[in-house]
Amino acid sequence: MASSMPSKKQKKNQKHDKYSLSDLKTLGHQLLSSRAHVNNLPLLLSFITPSTRPKYALESLLSLQSFFIPLLPQLPSSTVSSSFTSDSQGDPEFIYRTWVRSKFDDFVQSLLDIVICSQSDDSLREVVLDTLMEFVKVGNGGNFHSAIYYRLLHNIVHSSLEFDDILLELLASKYFKYIDIRYFTYISFEKLSRSIGANDISDDRRERLDTTGVNQPESSLDLSVHKLSHLLSRIPPLEGSDDKAEYAMWNPAGIFTEKENDKGHTGKQRTGESTNIKVLSPANIAKKMKLKFTKAWISFLRLTLPVDVYKEVLVNLHQVVIPYLSNPLMLCDFLTRSYDIGGVVSVMALSSLFVLMTQHSLEYPNFYEKLYALLEPSIFMAKHRAKFFQLLDSCLKSPLLPAYLAAAFCKKLSRLSIAVPPSGALVIIALIHNLLRRHPSINCLVHQEDGNETTKDITGAESGASDDSTEASSPSREMSSVKPSIDPFDDKQTDPLKTNAMRSSLWEVDTLRHHYCPPVSRFVLSLENDLTVRAKTTEVSVKDFSSGSYATIFGDEIRRRVKQVPLAFYTATPTMLFPESDFLGWTFKMKDKDSSTVLDNTSKENDHISAKRSRVEETS
């Protein structure tokens, strides 16, 4: 008969059951009172586990924290304690401190096990996090212990915790306000990104982005990237770098300090001179922070990002990352790859790419060809369409834009106006209005006529955009073969130069005069008036129309004041439902109350038919 042997966990619980809370308090007081009770240390450490009852774990934790904090500056480092030298083997004090150091490392590891365990009590996890951060503060001889902090972040990122776990919220809300913690967070994230990138062997996910859906975490690497992204987004930006800026520090004698002796110079201390701790200037702190911030983000962006993280990064990149980079042009490879993907991803990358082009002198070949390719009906229903239309208006604002390019955009938008919702038509009218005002060379699109004169003018405009005489003369030969009343514009062409937009017209805008939505037809009429009197009008603000929808149009119509309201007004009281003018040749009369209604014209026609029949009979 087989006997059931108790497991190690059961034996451990049975051992813990022998002690009460008062016993643990007594063990802790003995440990703190005399070195003779140092053997209580391993016993108290055995209660620091995720499976221990929270009250017991908390009582042991408080005693151990009070024991280790005063000893930390005197303990050797973990690397030194792992290897004994011949001189130190006979030193009892060194052996004792080395042993205490090993127990401290075990204590830290037990705390890490509790803090990343989602089944542990939340209040206990908060206390454990605070204890770990206290060790980070003074664990390195009174200085910032970056190794413990890196182990904390490494365990959080590589654990099974969700990225919205309370631990991440506690870490961000309580400690990311300190400038030195942010500094070491960036250093740790750079290392973590490199380690995650080395483990990720799927290098082609970015090329297989699904621009229509949102991926859920598929693996532990995806979950780690989600947590990295969440923590990076929760780090507040640098407040300022002027001399009046003040930064809160978790350890005042940390990385942002330097030693200064009594004579005012820094560097190696001379004999007989005392040193003071001087905090670096805000400008030097900001410079250091920018370098670490840049390295952390560049390392993160080199990872294979899940689609939802990828989109979230692109949306916020121009606001929360680019202004704080030491060299924003380092993002050009990431942004150009994103812009080349197409679809919604390209729309999201456009904001950051536009900032690099306008503020940091980035040269991007074929930028307008890529921008032209984004003009599809689906863009008018995209989530970020408002920002896209504003950027589109800004990109087409330059007076140096070639006439063929402005005409291609103008004609493409005009063609889209007959296939998009009314809100999209309003945005298109505003964009076309601004294009026609900025580029007088494309005013021929407003009223294009068939004939040699117009053809010559258009050919000359297009030839100015190309240095090749053969290409400049070919549109003239093509125009001669185009039949009148046939639109030569090719909306399927991706190259704006080959769309034949300069030989077309904006007939689609003219059809919007009869649009079923009143605001669209009214806006078209105002466009015609504005183009007639250019001196008295200005450009239209695209921002006022870029975020429109059916709901906004309906709301504007409801709030609109109507000067003339149509009323059912009659000069005389109606005596019948249908007037005689609606039924010419017909009369509706009542001979008496009992007779039925008869039609006079029907009786007359019957008499006419009878007379005609009698004449035929007499003739026969």
CA torsion, ordered 183, 184, 188, 189, to nearest 10 deg: -20
Q: Which range is least confidently modeled, 23-32, 196-205, 490-499, 546-555?
A: 196-205
Residue 389, pLDDT score: 92
The distance of Cα 218 from the centroid of its chain, to the nearest Å, equals: 21
Whether the per-residue pLDDT at 538 is higher than 60: the answer is: yes
Residues 265-292: b if buried by 16+ CB within 10 A, e if exposed = eeeeeeeeeeeeeebeebeebbebbbeb
Average pLDDT, the chain: 79
User: Could you tell me which residue, 600 or 487, shows the higher pLDDT?
Assistant: 487
Whether the per-residue pLDDT at 13 is higher than 80: the answer is: no
Comparing CA positions, the residue from 402, 194, 229 lying closest to residue 312 is: 229
User: Could you tell me which residue, 267 or 583, shows the higher pLDDT?
Assistant: 583
Residue 227, pLDDT score: 92
Whether the per-residue pLDDT at 264 is higher than 80: the answer is: no
Whether the per-residue pLDDT at 378 is higher than 80: the answer is: yes
Whether the per-residue pLDDT at 276 is higher than 70: the answer is: no
Q: Which range is least confidently modeled, 15-19, 128-132, 178-182?
A: 15-19
* Cα–Cα–Cα angle for 181, 185, 191, rounded to 5 degrees: 150
Whether the per-residue pLDDT at 323 is higher than 50: the answer is: yes
How far apart are alpha carbons 311 and 304 in whole angstroms?
13
In three-state secondary structure terms, 143 is strand
Comparing CA positions, the residue from 300, 271, 81 lying closest to residue 193 is: 300
Residue 618, pLDDT score: 65
Residue 241, pLDDT score: 60
Q: Which range is least confidently modeled, 324-333, 481-490, 516-525?
A: 481-490
378: β partners: none
Residue 286, pLDDT score: 86
How far apart are alpha carbons 484 and 482 in whole angstroms?
7
Residue 219, pLDDT score: 72
Note the pLDDT tens digit of each residue in 100-145. 999 999 999 999 999 999 888 889 999 999 999 999 988 877 788 8
User: Which residue has 């993907």 as its token pair?
Assistant: 341
Residue 12, pLDDT score: 55
Residue 232, pLDDT score: 93
- pLDDT exceeding 70 applies to what percent of the chain? 73
E strands present in 329-461 = none
Comparing CA positions, the residue from 298, 260, 290, 319 lying closest to residue 179 is: 290
Comparing CA positions, the residue from 39, 50, 38 lying closest to residue 12 is: 50
Note the pLDDT tens digit of each residue in 389-448. 999 999 998 888 899 999 999 999 999 999 999 999 999 999 999 999 888 889 888 877
Q: What is the mean pLDDT of residues 290-314?
A: 93
How far apart are alpha carbons 317 and 330 in whole angstroms?
13
Whether the per-residue pLDDT at 599 is higher than 50: the answer is: no
Q: What is the mean pLDDT of residues 20-42?
A: 91
Residue 90, pLDDT score: 62
Residue 128, pLDDT score: 94
Residue 593, pLDDT score: 45
Residue 246, pLDDT score: 75
Which one-letter amino acid corresponds to residue 476? S
Q: Which range is least confidently modeled, 209-213, 408-412, 521-525, 539-543?
A: 209-213
Note the pLDDT tens digit of each residue in 140-164. 777 888 899 999 999 999 988 887 7
